[in-house]
């Protein structure tokens, strides 16, 4: 039938017929294409909603790496280059304290020697003064004392029968905890050279370290939630001022530790209670000296909104 119609058409009619058919075909093709695109987007929506990419992109932070971890629910709340190994600076001292506590009792005596005063920084220690081990750990973590970290490591290894193996023990402890991207070369975190950090680790590892410490040795970090503390040695009373200047700005703070060197930039890891005994870790690495505090506060606010919703 269609063939007979075409045969009876003149060339002009055939051209009109052809263009009309082509137009109909084009419209149908566009319609089918739109339907397919919409169906693909709908199928992709659940994947996008299960990731935090959109929310992460909306939070602007200076840090090269950050990780927020809900300890109670074992849930990631935020991640930015969370497995990137970066210089840890004085975050190292949390591992130093944890390793020392495996060897030293709270009431063990630590005597300050001249060699303890050799690391960069001055804690105003006096040669010959003695410290109770737990008091020195508190002082080291609040003030980020390099001298105190050296004294802790020295005394712990002497009790073990040697002085050269403390760093090996720190690295073994890191492996036992499951810190997959961490490595330690000294006990205080000071840069070894302008291009070599004293320790390296990831934001995820720092969250894991703080979680482990909170669960297994909570008294290590307890003092770090205070703005300042009076801590006694045999020689004097030290007014230990927290290097985390944002302590009072974080409601429910349970623990904190700063880190800063020229190579590392600004680091900060905290644990705060988001409510009803729901501890959350925020780890920030590779920010600026001031930016680490504002970065952390932004991530605390973000975590609270997520938890409330």
Distances (CA, A) of 269 to 89, 184, 297: 12, 17, 11
266 and 238 housed in the same domain: yes
Tell me the residue range of the domain where 165 lies.
Answer: 63-308
Helix residue ranges per DSSP H, 79-145? 92-101, 133-143
38 and 184 housed in the same domain: no
Rounded to whole angstroms, the Cα distance separating 244 from 82 reads 22
Residue 278 pLDDT more than 70?
yes
Per the domain annotation, does 103 fall within a domain?
yes
Rounded to whole angstroms, the Cα distance separating 89 from 144 reads 10
Per the domain annotation, does 58 fall within a domain?
no
Coil, strand or helix at 178: coil
CATH number where 92 lies: 3.40.710.10
For residue 94, name the pLDDT band (cuts at 50, 70, 90): very high
Q: State how beta strands 183-184 and 199-201 pair.
A: antiparallel
Per the domain annotation, does 151 fall within a domain?
yes
108 and 214 housed in the same domain: yes
Burial profile 36-50: b = 16 or more Cβ within 10 angstroms, e = fewer: eeeeeeeeeeeeeee
pLDDT digits (tens, 9 = 90+) for 148-172: 999 999 999 999 876 568 999 999 9
Q: Give the per-residue pLDDT at 276.
A: 85
Give the strands of the sheet with 253-261, arranged side by side: 75-80, 65-70, 279-287, 265-273, 253-261
pLDDT digits (tens, 9 = 90+) for 97-127: 999 999 999 999 999 999 999 999 889 999 9
Q: Give the per-residue pLDDT at 163.
A: 55
């Amino acid at each position: 039938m269609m063939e007979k119609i075409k045969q009876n058409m003149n060339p002009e009619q055939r051209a009109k017929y052809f263009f009309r058919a082509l137009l109909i075909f084009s419209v149908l093709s566009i319609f089918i294409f739109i339907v397919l695109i919409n169906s693909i987007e709908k199928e992709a929506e659940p994947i996008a909603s299960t990731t935090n990419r959109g929310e992460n992109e909306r939070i602007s932070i200076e840090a090269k790496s950050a990780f927020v971890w809900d300890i109670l629910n074992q849930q990631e709340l935020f991640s930015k280059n969370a497995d990137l190994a970066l210089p840890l600076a004085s975050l190292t001292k949390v591992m130093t304290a944890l390793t020392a506590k495996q060897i030293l009792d709270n009431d063990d005596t630590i005597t300050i020697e001249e060699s303890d005063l050799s690391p960069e920084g001055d804690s105003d220690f006096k040669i010959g003064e003695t410290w109770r081990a737990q008091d020195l750990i508190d002082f080291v973590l609040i003030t980020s004392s390099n001298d105190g970290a050296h004294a802790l490591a020295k005394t712990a290894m002497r009790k073990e029968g040697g002085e050269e193996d403390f760093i090996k023990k720190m690295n073994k402890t890191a492996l036992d905890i499951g810190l997959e991207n961490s490595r330690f070369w000294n006990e205080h975190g000071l840069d070894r050279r302008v291009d070599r950090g004293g320790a390296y680790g990831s934001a995820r590892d720092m969250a894991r370290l703080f979680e482990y410490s909170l669960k297994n040795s909570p008294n290590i970090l307890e003092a770090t939630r205070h703005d300042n503390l009076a801590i006694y040695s045999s020689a004097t009373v030290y007014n230990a001022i927290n290097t985390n200047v944002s302590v009072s700005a974080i409601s429910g703070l349970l623990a904190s530790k700063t880190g800063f060197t020229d190579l590392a930039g600004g680091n900060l890891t905290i644990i705060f209670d988001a409510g009803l005994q729901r501890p959350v870790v925020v780890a920030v690495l590779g920010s600026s000296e001031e930016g680490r505090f504002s970065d952390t506060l932004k991530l605390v606010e973000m975590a609270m909104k997520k938890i409330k919703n």
